[in-house]
């Protein structure tokens, strides 16, 4: 057998691969007779034979059709074991990724709940019907408790530990008991907006019936309000009010005001006499907010100031806004104006807003619910007289938000209906002068008029819009305005322009006439600057926070003892176990008891723990002892002492920032290196932080010497020699400035190449430990400090008399610092020149390498390339034709000419330019010749190189004169060579 196997090592022959129709050679029958047999006692032959058969099957598989392949796969899978099928399943999952998966089974539980928190209540109920797991998630109390509390619906009991879905059931029960009409019931009573088959008489009768019902509801609510104000007691008052039911001669007994025992709990404990009035008001008037109830109680309470302070604590718990409002005794905003940030130059409009107008500047990228919440916070639950809306739009629709337009069709959607019903619930009714002003010319089209009528029917308010007779981008606002009443249609035109009630007339007219030009200019600016401005704003707020915490509050000096940390930890732990509505009071009581227990333990023989008062006194003492700035004897107009004090104070802050760099960045990176968990290499750490450590050591010595001088400050004290000692070692700063660009490039390289370093910077940047600054900003502090040294030295030398012994040293130190500032400016200019060269290299397509030697970009000039048909004619009689636009890039050693292509952006007035390389000429071989102004050519000049010449011209003569003067100066400098 072994000899037979060795004589026929290949069982798959060429004739088998060529096709089944070819007959096998006779001498191969003996060799392939036992081809199906697998030798078990020879491993190499077994593997070779197996690979050959696999190749044969795969070759057949490639030749088969799709049906034949599926049949083979089915036959193979039915013969596989369970382990083999599991292997196939894992292989398929790895190869073909799953596109649809239940996110609740993949994401953590808290993320799934966070996703579901954005769903409205009806969608949450629908999600609960998906599966049991979805139902458990959709009925969690964390999803329903906030929705109930925002509407003033609180559980009358404390849910048990194993009780499930209590807040959801409470929400459903509260919603089901509200006097709200379903869409079907509302359609039966009031009709629908798109109902067109009713006759004019029936429609008019339904509208009159609706107005009568609304008027009865308003009168009933006002009557109940007046009765409740006359009969109920104020909170925290045990005496009778003057003029109450008992007679008007009784005096009001003094009350101690609102106490902790009389203040009603948000969890609704057993009702007391003091809190029954609020409950009666909420029951009889379910549409009033808690803020309004507090205002009413404030008018009848003896101690109204405390209730006014407590009003802010409950202002967030509001019920459904009322559709009608009674006259208020307090001052309320008369007008509410919603302005979209997509309006061009809205800052100009904000500068002209009148005094009684509350402005809400909303982001067009938001949602309707976010806009509604922003408007609610702006008015603080108070009613408004009229509502104004200024957003981009046309004659048929209003572009309210990004992807959300207000039109005749979208108004009937549930989101828009709910938004306008709630928003207009804060507006006074039409009988009291309420209404809506939309700054889009909707009254100029049939669809716009239909939208205005439907909106008026939906809200019950009068809607005013411009008729759009004035043309222009926003000129229609200045045209005549008209209203669409429910019964009479378009009423007579209003005599006064409604926008002038919101914005001053002069500002509004200027803005309307220039809006189109500003819109084109601001569109380009926003596209390029908007992302950067948002980032810069966040950084500015972070720096302000860091300045407040570190330089004003001195957070690093606030030392909290171990005992106080333990007490606060125990108190917060106990607070989480209780369902308390007054956490501050509970925490204060707990800390008091904790302190007494520790004192009792100390009196019994154990170590006495310090109380809160002792800790605060010790903390105050430690802070006062560690004050970094000594008090200098400052006399009248002693500016020299003031400059010395500022020098010492700023030096402390400077050392704090340098120490923060090493503590927050260098020490963790070095510790990671020592523990064999390197984030970056040792070389990178030395490149970034080595020079900074030397500066820190140098300035610590400078600060110690300076503090010694200031502690013995008098009129004859000197600080110039201390500065001279610092200036003698400015080589440390020189090395830092030369290495600064390399350090920044190292940080950027490590951040891009090493994810661990990127995560480390994300954790450490802009934290309290780094003064809310990033690593790159902290590395810039030594450069800033040099300029501060110059300013302080100038102040010291100015207020030091010439005969003073310190005057000479100060002048010498100032001269050395000014020279070092000049060196820093030179390094900065070189860095800007290099970046400008790189930008120019990217701008010009096909340009040779520009970053060579000390090449610097001097000026860029736009011009046109001219051509003359006859070179023999004098210049004054020669005619020229324009060939193309060119760009002239002047460097300190060469002039680069480019083809300039102008591309106008569709549907806008803006354009962009692109450059393609044309030629380059060295300045040493370039000659310039001006062409006199003639009737055929103006502002032209000739650039003559060694091989060819170019005739160019500019648009204005000033541009030509400026460019030629700079070009001649550069040519002269190039001919003279380096000095």
Q: H or E segment at 887?
A: strand 880-891
Which of 44-53, 236-245, 515-524, 955-964 is predicted with the least confidence, judged by mean pLDDT? Answer: 236-245
- Cα–Cα distance, 926 to 952 (Å, whole number): 14
- Cα–Cα distance, 387 to 502 (Å, whole number): 10
- Cα–Cα distance, 57 to 14 (Å, whole number): 14
Alpha-carbon dihedral sign for residues 791, 794, 795, 796: positive
Q: Quick check: helix, strand or coil at residue 944?
A: strand
- pLDDT band at residue 38 under the 50/70/90 scheme: low
Q: Considering only residues 320 and 864, tell me which one the structure prediction assigns the higher pLDDT.
A: 864
Q: What percent of the chain has pLDDT over 90?
A: 19
Longest dimension (CA), the chain: 136
Q: Quick check: helix, strand or coil at residue 561?
A: coil
DSSP 286-347: TT--HHHHHHHHHHH-SSHHHHHHHHTTSTT---PPPSS----SS---SEEEEEETTSTTHH
Q: Considering only residues 622 and 660, tell me which one the structure prediction assigns the higher pLDDT.
A: 660
DSSP 422-490: HHHTTBPPGGGT-EEEE-S-GGGSHHHHHHHHHHHHHHSSEEEEE---S-SSSGGGGS-EEEEETTTEE
Q: What tens digit of pLDDT does each residue of 59-83 get?
A: 999 999 999 999 999 999 999 998 9
Q: In what order do the strands lie in the sheet with 894-904?
A: 844-845, 911-922, 894-904, 880-891, 857-868, 949-953, 940-944, 927-930
Q: Tokens representing 646? A: 């500022």
> Does residue 864 register a pLDDT over 90?
yes
- Cα–Cα distance, 877 to 430 (Å, whole number): 79
Integer angstrom CA distances of residue 494 from 356, 392, 481, 485: 21, 23, 6, 13
- Cα–Cα distance, 360 to 375 (Å, whole number): 6
| Nearest to 666, CA basis, from 692, 700, 705, 643 | 692
> Does residue 388 register a pLDDT over 70?
yes
171 CB-near residues (< 8 Å, 6+ apart): 121, 144, 147, 148, 153
Burial string for 907-944 (b: 16+ CB within 10 Å, else e) reads: eeeeeeeebeebebbebeebeeeebeeeebbebbbebe
pLDDT at 559: 52
pLDDT at 270: 36
Q: What tens digit of pLDDT does each residue of 465-503 get?
A: 888 765 556 777 877 787 765 343 334 434 457 888 888
pLDDT at 699: 92
CA dihedral of residues 217, 220, 225, 226 (deg, nearest 10): 140
> Does residue 12 register a pLDDT over 60?
no
Q: Tokens representing 563? A: 């005992």
- Cα–Cα distance, 21 to 29 (Å, whole number): 16
pTM: 0.44
Q: Quick check: helix, strand or coil at residue 34?
A: coil
- Cα–Cα distance, 748 to 96 (Å, whole number): 37
- Residue found by looking up tokens 């084109």 in the block: 520
Burial string for 510-531 (b: 16+ CB within 10 Å, else e) reads: ebbebbeebbeebeeeeeeeee
Q: Tokens representing 199? A: 């006759």
- pLDDT band at residue 231 under the 50/70/90 scheme: low
Q: What percent of the chain has pLDDT over 70?
A: 69
Q: What tens digit of pLDDT does each residue of 790-813 get?
A: 988 988 888 888 888 888 999 999
Alpha-carbon dihedral sign for residues 906, 911, 914, 918: positive
Summary mean pLDDT of the chain: 75
Nearest 5°: phi and psi at 899? -75, 130
pLDDT at 812: 92
Which of 27-41, 252-266, 577-591 is predicted with the least confidence, judged by mean pLDDT? Answer: 252-266
> Does residue 18 register a pLDDT over 60?
no
pLDDT at 527: 67
SS3 assignment for 36-84: CCCCCCCHHHHHHHHHHHHHHHHHHHHHCCHHHHHHHHHHHHHCCCHHH
Which of 7-16, 68-77, 412-421 is predicted with the least confidence, judged by mean pLDDT? Answer: 7-16
Q: Considering only residues 123 and 327, tell me which one the structure prediction assigns the higher pLDDT.
A: 123
- Cα–Cα distance, 9 to 46 (Å, whole number): 10
666 CB-near residues (< 8 Å, 6+ apart): 685, 688, 689, 692, 693
- DSSP single-letter state for residue 637: T
CA dihedral of residues 614, 618, 621, 625 (deg, nearest 10): 170
- Cα–Cα distance, 551 to 547 (Å, whole number): 5
- Cα–Cα distance, 426 to 336 (Å, whole number): 10
- Cα–Cα distance, 124 to 140 (Å, whole number): 10
- Cα–Cα distance, 59 to 53 (Å, whole number): 10
Which of 311-325, 652-666, 774-788 is predicted with the least confidence, judged by mean pLDDT? Answer: 311-325
> Does residue 614 register a pLDDT over 80?
no
pLDDT at 276: 36
Provide, for the chain, the percentages of residues in helix, strand and coil under a 3-state DSSP scheme, each rounded to the nearest 5: 55, 10, 35
- pLDDT band at residue 815 under the 50/70/90 scheme: very high
> Does residue 850 register a pLDDT over 90?
no
- Cα–Cα distance, 856 to 590 (Å, whole number): 71
> Does residue 267 register a pLDDT over 60?
no
Yes or no: say if 449 and 411 are a contact pair by the CB < 8 Å rule.
no
pLDDT at 305: 42
Q: Tokens representing 809? A: 């040293």
Which of 39-48, 160-169, 662-671, 707-716 is predicted with the least confidence, judged by mean pLDDT? Answer: 39-48
- pLDDT band at residue 236 under the 50/70/90 scheme: very low
pLDDT at 811: 92
Burial (Cβ within 10 Å: 0-12, 13-18, ≥19) of residue 541 = exposed
CA 325, 326, 330: angle at the middle one, nearest 5?
105
pLDDT at 696: 92
E strand map for 817-878 = 844-845, 857-868
CA 184, 185, 186: angle at the middle one, nearest 5?
90
């Amino acid at each position: 057998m072994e000899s037979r196997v060795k004589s026929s090592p290949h069982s798959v022959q060429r004739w088998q691969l060529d096709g089944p129709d070819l007959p096998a050679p006779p001498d191969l029958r003996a060799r392939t007779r036992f081809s199906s047999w697998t030798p078990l006692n020879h491993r190499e032959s077994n593997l070779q034979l197996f690979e050959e058969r696999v190749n044969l099957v795969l070759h057949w598989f490639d030749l088969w059709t799709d049906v034949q392949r599926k049949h083979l796969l089915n036959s193979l899978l039915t013969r596989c074991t369970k382990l083999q099928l599991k292997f196939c399943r894992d292989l398929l999952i790895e190869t073909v990724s799953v596109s649809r998966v239940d996110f609740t089974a993949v994401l953590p539980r808290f993320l799934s709940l966070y996703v579901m928190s954005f769903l409205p209540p009806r969608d949450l109920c629908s999600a609960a019907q998906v599966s049991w797991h979805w139902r458990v998630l959709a009925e969690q109390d964390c999803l329903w408790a906030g929705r109930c509390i925002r509407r003033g619906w609180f559980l009358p009991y404390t849910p048990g530990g194993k009780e499930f879905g209590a807040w959801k059931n409470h929400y459903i029960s509260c919603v089901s008991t509200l006097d709200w009409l379903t869409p079907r019931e509302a359609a039966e009573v009031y009709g629908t907006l798109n109902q067109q088959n009713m006759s004019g008489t029936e429609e008019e009768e339904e509208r009159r019936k609706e107005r009568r019902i609304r008027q009865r509801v308003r009168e009933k609510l006002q009557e109940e309000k007046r009765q409740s104000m006359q009969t109920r007691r104020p909170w925290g008052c045990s005496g009778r009010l003057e003029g109450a039911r008992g007679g008007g001669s009784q005096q009001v007994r003094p009350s101690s005001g609102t106490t902790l025992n009389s203040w009603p709990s948000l969890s609704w404990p057993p009702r007391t006499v003091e809190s029954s009035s609020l409950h009666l008001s909420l029951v009889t008037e379910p549409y009033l907010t808690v803020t309004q109830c507090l205002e009413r109680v404030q008018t009848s309470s003896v101690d109204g100031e405390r209730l006014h302070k407590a009003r802010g604590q409950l202002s967030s718990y509001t019920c459904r806004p009322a559709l009608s409002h009674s006259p208020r005794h307090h001052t309320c905003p008369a007008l509410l104006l919603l302005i979209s940030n997509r309006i061009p130059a809205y800052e100009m409009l904000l500068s002209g807003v009148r005094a009684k107008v509350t402005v809400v500047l909303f982001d067009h990228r938001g949602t309707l619910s976010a806009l509604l919440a922003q408007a609610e916070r702006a008015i603080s639950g108070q009613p408004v007289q009229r509502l104004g809306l200024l957003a981009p739009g046309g004659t048929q629709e209003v572009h309210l938000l990004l992807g959300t337009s207000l039109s005749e069709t979208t108004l009937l959607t549930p989101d828009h209906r709910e938004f306008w019903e709630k928003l207009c619930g804060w507006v006074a009714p039409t009988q009291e002068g309420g209404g809506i002003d939309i700054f889009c010319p909707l009254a100029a089209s049939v669809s716009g008029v239909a939208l205005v009528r439907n909106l008026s029917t939906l809200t019950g308010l009068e809607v005013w819009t411009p008729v759009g007779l004035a043309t222009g981008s926003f000129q229609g606002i200045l045209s005549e305005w008209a209203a669409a009443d429910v019964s009479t249609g378009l009423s007579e035109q209003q005599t006064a322009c409604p926008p002038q009630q919101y914005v001053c007339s002069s500002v509004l007219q200027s803005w309307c006439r220039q809006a189109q030009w500003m819109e084109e200019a601001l569109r380009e600016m926003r596209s390029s600057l908007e992302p950067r401005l948002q980032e810069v704003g966040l950084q500015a707020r972070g720096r302000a926070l860091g300045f407040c915490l570190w330089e004003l509050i001195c957070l690093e000096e606030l030392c909290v003892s171990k005992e106080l940390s333990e007490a606060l930890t125990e108190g917060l732990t106990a607070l989480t176990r209780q369902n308390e509505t007054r956490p501050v009071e509970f925490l204060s009581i707990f800390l008091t008891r904790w302190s007494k227990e520790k004192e009792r333990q100390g009196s019994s023989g154990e170590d006495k723990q310090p109380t809160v008062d002792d800790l605060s006194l010790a903390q105050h003492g430690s802070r006062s002892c560690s004050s970094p700035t000594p008090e200098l004897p400052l006399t009248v107009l002693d500016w020299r002492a003031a400059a010395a004090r500022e020098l010492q104070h700023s030096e402390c802050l400077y050392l704090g920032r340098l120490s923060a760099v090493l503590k927050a960045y260098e020490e963790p990176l070095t510790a990671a290196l020592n523990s064999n968990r390197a984030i970056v290499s040792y070389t990178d750490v030395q490149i970034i932080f080595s020079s900074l450590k030397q500066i820190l050591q140098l300035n610590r010595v400078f600060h110690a010497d300076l503090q010694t001088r200031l502690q013995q400050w008098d009129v004859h004290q000197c600080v110039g020699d201390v500065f001279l000692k610092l200036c003698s070692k400015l080589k440390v700063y020189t090395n830092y400035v030369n290495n600064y660009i390399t350090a920044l490039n190292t940080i950027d390289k490590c951040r891009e190449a090493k994810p661990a370093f990127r995560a480390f910077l994300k954790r450490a940047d802009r934290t309290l430990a780094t003064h809310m600054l990033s690593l790159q900003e902290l590395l810039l502090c030594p450069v800033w400090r040099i300029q501060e040294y110059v300013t302080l030295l100038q102040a010291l030398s100015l207020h030091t008399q010439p005969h003073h012994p310190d005057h000479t040293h100060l002048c010498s130190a100032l001269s050395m610092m000014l020279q070092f500032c000049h060196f820093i400016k030179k390094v900065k200019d070189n860095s800007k020149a290099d970046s400008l060269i790189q930008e120019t290299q990217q701008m010009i397509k096909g340009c040779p390498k520009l970053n060579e030697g000390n090449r610097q970009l001097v000026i860029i000039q736009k011009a046109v390339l001219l051509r003359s048909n006859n070179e023999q004619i004098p210049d004054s009689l020669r005619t020229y034709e324009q060939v193309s636009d060119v760009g002239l890039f002047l460097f300190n050693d060469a002039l680069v000419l480019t083809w300039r292509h102008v591309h106008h952006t569709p549907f806008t007035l803006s354009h962009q330019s692109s450059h393609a390389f044309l030629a380059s000429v060295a300045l040493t071989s370039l000659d310039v010749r001006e062409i006199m102004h003639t009737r055929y050519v103006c502002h032209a000049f000739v650039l003559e190189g060694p091989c060819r010449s170019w005739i160019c011209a500019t648009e204005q003569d000033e541009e030509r004169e400026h460019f030629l003067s700079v070009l001649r100066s550069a040519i002269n400098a190039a001919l003279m060579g380096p000095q």
